[in-house]
Amino acid sequence: MVGCSCGSSPHQPGGVCARANPPPDCGRDCSSGETCPAGYYCAAAGVCTRDCDPLRPGDCPGGRCNDNGLCDVFHRDAGGLVDTSFICADVRVQANRVTPTVVVIVDQSGSMTERFGDSNRWDALRDSLLARPDGFIAALESQVRFGLALYSATFRDGMPVGMCPSVEYVPPAIDNYAAIQAVYGPASPLSETPTGESVDAVLTRLSMVPDPTDDPTIFILATDGEPDTCAVPNPQTGQPQAIAAVERAYRAGVRTYVISVGRDVSAAHLQDVANAGLGRRAGDPDAEYWVAGDDAGLRAALTAIIGGELSCVVTLTGMIQDLDLACTGTVILNGTPIPCDDPDGWNVLDATHIELRGESCERLQRTPGATLEATFPCDVILI
């Protein structure tokens, strides 16, 4: 959206006469009877000014400089380009932060009915995700493309009953709470834990999306026991297959974070999955994993994972032409301006991206439905 200021000040912000070493006729007295030299116009304050130079096309982004040193700015409507013949004061651009895709992969094995704090593992995890208003999917569905995969398998006489793995999948989307609740709400634990095959199945489903986003995609694997496989449901010896599946996901650009719901998963396996999920190799620092012993611990784990994925890098719809002038813009978070080049404010990364830092980044991450606005002078940003 473009705003205007038509002769309300002697010189337009960022215009030719407002710059260092302006042309000599800038500021000359003028009136209806004493006109300005060619290439200038008489501002309301009674001084000659010019906002652009016809020989400098960059002075009028989106338009042209006329014979009086005024920007004839164009906007586009259904009929094409229209000359709006006004002086552009500033441009408000849409500021969109990165929107991650998060698929929560939930172990649906029978052991999820075991005690967990004041509840059981299954109900505590479901409440942490779906409770209104502060469950994580409920609170962040407008900021995260959430998807869901419930996985398990059922065997009788050593043979699978139905599909193995059994994966009930909800494709990720913005504002996806209702679709996820419709599947997750009435579901209940089944039997086995074929983690590796289930991660592969979810990855296959994701690969079938026709127009994938460039935003990051992550898996949150919430499990309460050692993995098995469809070929060998007992004993639980599916650790190599689970690690290999997470490695395949990483090579496909999907990072995996693991939460143990309860304390029955070995630390060695959790560490191996965590390292594989972030592409860590021998000699690299170990990746973080989470062990939740109660509902509060589970919520803390989800906060740490999802909060860290809500990027503070923001994409602008316009392009900053001169990065040295980026701080002439104004960025407003939840109605409050935040400072530029400040440890708790914002800084420019490149022509189309800014980054919120420190306290501003934390506010953006922890505020559901946070609003962000960015406004720049017309000669700084091109839309």
Considering the domain architecture, whether residues 376 and 277 belong to the same structural domain is answered as no
82 within a domain of the structure (yes/no): yes
CATH number, residue 146: 3.40.50.410
Considering the domain architecture, whether residues 106 and 61 belong to the same structural domain is answered as no
Angle separating helix axes 267-277 and 239-251, nearest 10 degrees: 20
Considering the domain architecture, whether residues 189 and 288 belong to the same structural domain is answered as yes
Considering the domain architecture, whether residues 336 and 257 belong to the same structural domain is answered as no
What residue type is assigned to position 380 of the chain? Answer: V
Contact criterion met (CB below 8 Å) for 239 and 272: yes
**Domain final residue, candidates 86, 118, 140:** 86
Considering the domain architecture, whether residues 178 and 289 belong to the same structural domain is answered as yes
What is the span of the domain harbouring residue 41? 2-86
- Cis amide bond preceding 343, omega within 30: no
Q: What is the pTM of this model?
A: 0.66
Contacts of 9 (CB under 8 A, 6+ apart): 43, 44, 45
**Domain final residue, candidates 26, 58, 86:** 86
93 within a domain of the structure (yes/no): no
**Domain final residue, candidates 275, 309, 343:** 309
Q: What's the CA gap between 371 and 327, in Å, rounded?
A: 20
Q: What's the CA gap between 289 and 256, in Å, rounded?
A: 10
Q: What's the CA gap between 80 and 318, in Å, rounded?
A: 20
Q: Note down pLDDT in tens along the chain; length 383 residues.
A: 333 333 334 566 667 787 778 888 888 888 755 678 888 877 767 788 888 877 776 677 656 777 778 776 544 444 444 443 334 456 666 666 677 899 999 999 999 999 998 899 999 999 999 998 888 898 888 878 999 999 999 998 888 898 999 999 999 999 999 999 999 999 999 999 999 999 999 999 999 888 777 778 999 999 999 999 999 999 999 999 999 999 999 999 999 999 999 999 999 999 999 999 999 999 999 999 999 988 888 888 887 887 667 778 888 878 888 888 888 888 988 889 999 999 999 999 998 889 999 999 888 876 756 778 888 887 677 65
Question: Sign (positive/negative) of CA torsion 375, 370, 360, 334?
Answer: positive
How many domains is the chain built from?
Answer: 3
Considering the domain architecture, whether residues 204 and 287 belong to the same structural domain is answered as yes
Distance linking the first and last C-alpha atoms of the chain: 10
195 within a domain of the structure (yes/no): yes
92 within a domain of the structure (yes/no): no
Q: What is the dihedral of CA 316, 322, 326, 328, to 10 degrees?
A: -120
Considering the domain architecture, whether residues 48 and 74 belong to the same structural domain is answered as yes
Considering the domain architecture, whether residues 120 and 29 belong to the same structural domain is answered as no
What are the DSSP calls for 205-268, one per residue? HHHT-SS--SS-EEEEEEESS----SS--SS---HHHHHHHHHHHHHTTEEEEEEEESS-S-HH
